[in-house]
Amino acid sequence: MRNKIPLSAKVLLLILIPFSIRAKTLTYPVNVGNMVCEYKTNPISVDVSNPRLSWKLYSLIRNTRQNAYEIRVGSNALLLTKGKKLIWESGRVNSDQSTQVPYKGPALISREKCYWQVRVWNNKNQASGWSEVNYWKMGLLNRSDWVAHWIQDTYKSDTTGGPSPMFRKEFNIKKPIRAAYLYITAHGVYEAQLNNERVGNDYFTPGFTSYKKRLQYQVYDVSSAIKKGDNAIGVTLGDGWYRGYTYDRKKDVYGSKLALLFQLEVIYENGSRQIITSDKNCRVTYGPILKSSFFDGELYDARNEKPGWSGADYNVSQWDNVQTNDSIKDHLIAMYGPPVTKHEKFTPIQVLTTPEGDRVVDFGQNLVGWVQFRLKGKAGDTLRLFHGEVLDQKGNFYNKNLRTAKQEITYVFKDGDAETYEPHFTFQGFRYVKIQGYTGPIDSTNFVAYALYSDMGQTGNFSTSNELVNQLQHNIQWGQKGNFIDIPTDCPQRDERMGWTGDAQAFCSTATFNMNVASFFTKWLKDLSADQLKNGAVPYVIPNVLDSTYVAASGWSDVATIAPWTIYLAYGDKQILQQQYASMQSWVSYIQSHSRNNLWDTGNHFGDWLFYSGTDYEDGAALTDKNLIAQAFYAYSTQLLINAAKVLGRDEDVRIYTLLLNSIKKAFQTEYVTPSGRMISGTQTSYVLALNFDLLPENLRESAIKRLVQNIDDYDGHITTGFLGTPYICQVLSRFGYTDVAFSLLMKKSYPSWLYPVTKGATTIWERWDGIKPDGTLQDPAMNSFNHYAYGAIGDWMYKDIAGIRTDENSPGFHKIWITPHVGRHLTSAQGTLETMYGAIKSAWSIADSTYTLNVTIPPNTTANIVLPSVSGLITESGNNIYTVPEISNIQKNNTGMQLTIGSGDYTFVYTYKPTVPVVKH
């Protein structure tokens, strides 16, 4: 099988590559490696016509940049070195571009495999060696490449919540093979086996897209699973997102019948090809999975297992015929985002008997995935597992906040031997598991839990001298892991789990720091475009499983402009702006056409969802006018559209939308701001949005920031913002010189604050500031998720302003970097690392006895401006006066410290720290 090494291990290897290159192969002044094609290492299902290639430079020499590159692409790995005829040679290109370089050779055809290498020249014109050979392989580019037939069972019980059909086909391989690839997709979710071995390590394939317009297929290299002689392929299907329950117990959103499509292409040594397809010769039956649903869990009767069912010698005489269904017309596309795979393993940290007498296993982390167990039982014995996120105030098992979702696993034993089981087409959000039907001992030999999430690869780390803040960062990362399951969801446990756009826009930037989400969002944004209404309205959730009237809410639908811009900045990916431009434009025109004189004060909006107030989210002193918010986001979306138009060179659009933006801002000021700068809603969110989106004239900004600071003071230093104000409040405070207030907000431990849940034992970000109230009781179960990432948006500020790592917007993707760390008087050290498209950035500061030390790493082919805070006296870098260090230039004083520019390499700055920023007391 292709994925002998678990994908998580591969990711680890990838992270380690730079170090191995350092250790072993830094033979040249500049070296090249870590090559990716469309964000993937050696992808085999590429369906874009000009795949983009990226690589990283490695060098021990500071200030290394790329002056030129050369790419060669051949149809055979050996050809590359032999100087034979190649598919494409770029020749030497004088350019510093080392990311997203498009292939510019002849048009590629279905299945074509391209081997590629790159070499570079540094800024001293020294060449690297040729990189190792990598490849990409094209998918099936035309519908006509699919000779397989869609197949279905003919059972009446094939309905939502019904058993999982198992399909099987036998085939014979007569000659030695060179390679074999399985192309496969389904209506529903599938799990494939070849000769009794699972194909790949992906789960919930084909993934969640706007199925009626875009259905992904996966490709697996199954060369090593095929043998000479008789073989068999078996595929099980589940309801998944296709027809499974969604919001309001709606089902069959995309159709009511499951279906399967596959073709297994075997290439023989002599180059000929045999295609084994799903067709009328397949057989089908039901097996052990009697029910399986994302919301409700799985019902598995092991007595119905069919041992060896996908092996060659299994007897299929009792199985039924399938029907082919060629009326299914799908828009098949190659998978683009990362697959969902299995990650961390958890062992029980304790087994409790609750006051109500339940037996409950605590895995210590609110995670999303499932429990795997290995137990003995008598045939017919039933084990039931119930999953919950928290215990209630009395310490009893609690799952009322799941609403109608059951999250229950029921397993029926087959015989007296130890049986190992894990679910198939479901996932649970949980920390605690209530066990019924088993009274024996429980430990890590018989119960473990696995986290499952999109295999994005961790890119960021953030830590400080404060353990509570570190736990907050942990919770933010786990909020991301638990909610990035093929799409960005609101929550992973109750009966929603949808791609809520507001949550996604709030968290998107933080997400880009923690993990590589480029391909994840690229895929999801295509679904956004696909589901956007003709008039430009963007649905509340993507893919849109709701009614088409649930569209166009400010701060939610604006994900259409915010996410593409965020991905562009984080990865320097201009193509995402090209891809989404029409969608961005049409969202802005939707608002325009629903405004009077560019004032958008109509429509249904969620407002600053879940802001703090005495009685919480409907009224109270922190209530911000919903139309004011709508107007603010109208301006922001228009601003981002202008930004995109500038990048894409659409000058006329820049002109038109700049005029529009001016008029939107005027309307905002006239309607919501008094001449002296008081806003009609005197809330934190009002001032935050007005300042962050530059909606106030220059002369009113100073008073606005003061009012914001005053408001925070009025709440005794607490945050009162909801989903829309929270992402920006600390950013705004820092931007206008009040970082100390931002730190106070961050460090606050009483409700409402970011650390309050941490003091209550949270291991993820909660939906509400007080999911568990100060008196220990739980919030309203109708809306009380303990795994909702929106408030985790503070992570963005932690990376950007505490560690101080941000990209220069004019040179995105961290090609030009700003290192602007801020010192908070509550911390003695902080550090952030970020693996970018160019390599690793690090910014780590510490203060001891007024001595400030900043360690910075900047990857090759980038430069960084560093702002050293509160400098006094001599600054040294690795022991030398900074003015004598050749790689440091542009040294100048700025109003908060000293600014200087460096090239790539590791640097250590040391000086005496002297705070000049006034300390605001909270």
Contact residues for ligand BGC, defined by CB under 6 A: 490-491, 496, 500, 502-503, 606, 609, 788
C-beta separation of 258 from 167 below 8 A: no
Instruction: Report CA Rg, the chain.
Output: 28
Give the residue with the Cβ less far from ligand BGC, 606 or 911: 606
Residue 788 C-beta: closest distance to ligand BGC, Å: 6
Q: Write down the H helix ranges in 262-350.
A: none
Tally Cβ neighbours within 10 Å of residue 68.
18
Residue 45's contacts (CB-CB under 8 Å, 6 or more residues apart) are: 137, 139, 217, 218, 219, 334, 335
CB of 767 to ligand BGC, least distance (A): 7
Closer residue to ligand BGC, CB minimum distance, 183 or 789: 789
- Amino acid at residue number 371: V
Nearer to ligand BGC, 330 or 490 (CB): 490
What angle do the packed helices 518-531 and 574-593 form, to 10 degrees? 30
- If the CB atoms of residues 788 and 800 are measured against ligand BGC, the closer one turns out to be 788
Q: Do residues 223 and 177 touch, judged by C-beta distance below 8 A?
A: yes
Task: Give the nearer residue to ligand BGC in terms of CB position, either 503 or 796.
Answer: 503
574 backbone dihedrals φ, ψ, rounded to 5°: -70, -30
Nearer Cβ to ligand BGC (121/609): 609
**At closest approach, how far in Å is the CB of 598 from ligand BGC?**
26
> Closest approach of Cβ 723 to ligand BGC, in Å?
7
Q: Read off the tokens for 909.
A: 């700055």
Rounded to the nearest whole angstrom, what is the least distance from the CB of residue 490 to ligand BGC in the complex? 4
Give the Cα separation of 245 and 387 in Å (integer). 18
Q: What is the C-alpha to C-alpha distance for residues 47 and 257, in angstroms, rounded to an integer?
A: 28
Pairing verdict, β 340-346 and 447-454: antiparallel
- Secondary structure string (H, E, C) spanning 732-797: HHHHCCCHHHHHHHHHCCCCCCCHHHHHCCCCCCCCCCCCECCCCCECCHHHCCCCCCHHHHHHHH
Query: Cβ(475)–Cβ(790) under 8 Å?
Result: no
In 3D, which of 194, 363, 350, 375 has the Cα closest to residue 276? 194
Query: Residue 611 CB, nearest distance to ligand BGC (Å)?
Result: 12
Q: Compare residues 543 and 903 and give the one whose CB is closer to ligand BGC.
A: 543
* Residue 89 appears among annotated catalytic residues: no
User: CB neighbours (10 Å) of residue 782?
Assistant: 9
State which residue, 571 or 609, has the beta carbon closest to ligand BGC: 609
In the bound complex, what is the minimum distance in angstroms from residue 189's beta carbon to ligand BGC?
23
3-state helix, strand, coil in the chain (%, to 5): 25, 30, 45
Catalytic one of 767, 809, 835, 877: 767
Residues in the chain: 922
Can you tell me whether residue 575 is helix, strand or coil? helix
Q: Is 873 exposed, middle or buried (0-12, 13-18, 19+ CB in 10 A)?
A: exposed
Q: Is 298 known to be catalytic? A: no
Min separation Cβ 782 and ligand BGC, Å: 9
* CA-to-CA dists, residue 262 to 184, 211, 272, 660, angstroms: 4, 17, 19, 50
Cα 823 to Cα 871: distance, rounded to the nearest angstrom: 12
Q: How far apart are CA 118 and CA 135, in angstroms?
A: 12
Report which DSSP code applies to 469.
Answer: H
Q: Nearest residue to ligand BGC, using CB?
A: 490
* For helices 651-672 and 626-647, angle between their N-to-C axes, nearest 10 degrees: 160
The single residue listed with the structure tokens 């088409």 is 548
Cβ proximity to ligand BGC: between 493 and 683 the closer is 493
Nearer to ligand BGC, 503 or 558 (CB): 503
Q: 298, 389, 408, 496: which one is catalytic? A: 496
Beta bridge mates, 283: 168, 321
The residue (of 494 and 701) whose beta carbon lies closer to ligand BGC is 494
Catalytic sites, residue numbers: 496, 767
